[in-house]
A and B are shown apart, each in its own frame.
Chain A
Amino acid sequence: MVKAVRGVLVECEPAIKSILVHIDSTHHHEFIIEDLDETHLFVKEAMLQVLKSKLEERLRETYRPEEPLEDSE
């Protein structure tokens, strides 16, 4: 019998996806409903904001973007 499941489709780069999958596996799998393919995940609607902030946290630890050069006013 065909089923329709409510949720949020997340599209991202494979690198980001693997971080998301890792976050999910360290949090009792409470985010992801279905791992669709390399660049797509299907996640619980209610948990999306939590997942986003967890990803931000993780990226902040590793990612330092360069500031563009300031020009004089």
Chain B
Amino acid sequence: MSGGQQSYQLSEYLEKLPGTTFRKLYQQPSTAFAIFRRMLPPLAKVFVQALLYMPSPLLLAELDVWVRAEGKMQRDRALSILRSLHIIQITPPGKDKPQEMQLTTNFKNSLRLALEGGGSHNSFGVPSTLPVDPRIDIAHLDHYARKKWEDILHYVVNSVPAQGDGGGSISTAGPKTSVKELLLLGRLVELRRDTRAGVGITQAGFTFLLQEANAQVWTLLLLWLEAADRAKGEAKGAAAKTDSIDMLSFLFMLASLELGRAYNTDALTETRRNMLPHLVDFGLILVPREDTRQYFPTRLATTLTSSASSLRSVSSGFSAAAANNPGDASSLGTTPETSAASKGSIIIETNYRLYAYTSSPLQIAVLALFTQLNMRFAGMATGRLTRDSIRRAIGFGITADQIISYLASHAHDQMVRAAAATGRPVLPPTVVDQIRLWQLENERMRTSAGFLFKDFDSLEEYVSLSSYADEIGVLVWRNDKKRMFYAIKMEQLRDYLKSRKKAE
């Protein structure tokens, strides 16, 4: 949907980078390791692991022995991802020589270094040897990071035109001006005079709000990288390029650091040191006021490259941390409500009434995006899902699926328990269906941006290119009679055509 295309994701950003950038990125073991960990599907990881210590290139045909015939699709997709991230090289098809594949040199060397240790690359951060302030423990870092991040989310939420009492009557200090400018630049909010904050939320902003925390952090970081790129690109050019590569690999390095540990700022390059104030604004790191020679990564930073499925999300990490240290958490001002908010607090009935057991202004404000909130009590808010409230949300660019998944992931324990006991879905099916129907009423057309391929010279050319598009998973629509097909991406299809031409 329209919102999905605008939300910036790491893989899309990486795919657009040229090969030279990747070569430089992969000089850092931490980067190679982070890409391996976060960006690759399981089968691709298996391929990389097998190739890692192989002394000579592998014949592409031999791969067929490893993968069962019915797994051809997954194999092609894995290879396509590995190629787009410049992790493997495959020799072009030729008549006299079979195709071979191998890992790109930098990636191979760096991943080996990351696994075996050794080298003097300092790629995984240099721990500070200075004495550490005992007050800075994990609970403190979590509290600090959550405060910073919720400030940013609040700023975005509060830019909703006032409606009901959910629109945020709470005044927080708000994020720094630089962060506000970034949100504006990324078009998550836009300048508008009819709201209290002077800015209004955009479609992309809504998508941003309903994302899980990890995706939100990346969205913001990539906006920032792009902004920095542009600003420097105007100033100098070639030097700026290396800067942004260094910035990106610094982010990957942060992700490999240990939570609750102090690291040395003196060991950083100048570019990286310049990044620190911004990262402090986002809440990714903490620099103690008394001693700026140290920095502490927070949970927002250390979970950057963990995959959402295999490791707990940032918010559940927060609540787990709060539960582990109840004493510390309360003394630092973490209210029980905020940790409950991340656990789930929403009850929804078959008559579309909604009860949210929360006093987190952030959660109430998010709910107000698609709910007609009626009453607010201490620790609880009630409302209803109505045709108009859903319609308004969809008008903002939120999709029914986003609303449903938000409700499902924030459902109250009672609902989850009752559903598990009776073997039914967590949300009442009538409500889920009705939300979808309300969306269909508004969304008469489903759209996706991409490329239409037509005017093929021969049937054979059409068949081979369209089935290749299907294999790598970019084909959406095809018509064999008209010899046309529609694909969401074209770079790899273009490369495929080129290599075909060469082979002929």
Contact = CB atoms under 8 A, between A and B. Distances in A.
- Using C-beta atoms within 8 Å of the partner chain, give the interface range for chain A: 20 to 34
Contact of B441 (A6, A40, A65): A65
B445 interface: yes
Contacts, number: 83
A52 B1 CA distance: 13
Interface in A8-64: 8-13, 16, 20, 33-34, 36-37, 40, 42, 45, 48, 52, 55, 59
B457 A42 contact: no
Contacts of A40: 477, 486
Contacts of A6: 449-451
B484 A2 contact: no
B63 to A, nearest CB: 28
B20 interface: no
Contacts of A48: 447
Q: Which of A6, A9, A55 has the most CB of B within 10 A?
A: A9
Nearest to A45: B449
Contacts of B472: none
A9 B497 contact: no
A3 B483 CA distance: 12
A16 B440 CA distance: 12
Interface in B225-258: none
Interface string B449-493: 111111111000100010000000000110100101010001001
B351 interface: yes
B95 interface: no
Nearest to A58: B444
A16 B445 contact: yes
A36 B445 contact: no
A7 B465 contact: no
A22 B287 CA distance: 62
B448 interface: yes
B387 to A, nearest CB: 7
A40 B490 CA distance: 20
Contacts of B493: 4
A33 B452 contact: yes
Contacts of B444: 12-13, 16, 55, 59
A34 B453 contact: no
B494 interface: yes
B446 interface: yes
Contacts of B387: 65, 67-68
A34 B446 contact: no
Contacts of A5: 451-454
A73 B453 CA distance: 56
Contacts of A33: 452
Contacts of A45: 449
Interface string B4-24: 000000000000000000000
Nearest to A13: B444
A72 B457 CA distance: 67
Contacts of A13: 444
B374 interface: yes
Contacts of A59: 444
Contacts of A9: 447-450, 452, 476-477, 486
A63 to B, nearest CB: 9
Contacts of A10: 445-447
A3 B454 contact: yes
A36 B452 CA distance: 10
A61 to B, nearest CB: 14
Contacts of A67: 387
Given A42-B452, A65-B387, A71-B351, A12 B446 contact: yes
A67 B386 CA distance: 9
A33 B452 CA distance: 10
Contacts of A7: 449-452
A21 to B, nearest CB: 12
Contacts of B446: 10-12
28 contacts: A1-B457, A2-B461, A2-B497, A4-B451, A4-B453, A4-B494, A5-B453, A6-B449, A6-B451, A7-B450, A7-B451, A8-B450, A9-B448, A9-B449, A9-B450, A9-B452, A9-B477, A9-B486, A10-B447, A11-B445, A11-B447, A12-B446, A34-B452, A36-B486, A42-B452, A55-B445, A59-B444, A71-B351
Given A5-B453, A52-B445, 11 more contacts: A3-B453, A3-B455, A4-B452, A8-B447, A11-B447, A12-B446, A13-B444, A34-B454, A40-B477, A42-B486, A55-B444
Interface of B: 351, 374, 386-387, 441, 444-457, 461, 465, 476-477, 479, 482, 484, 486, 490, 493-494, 497
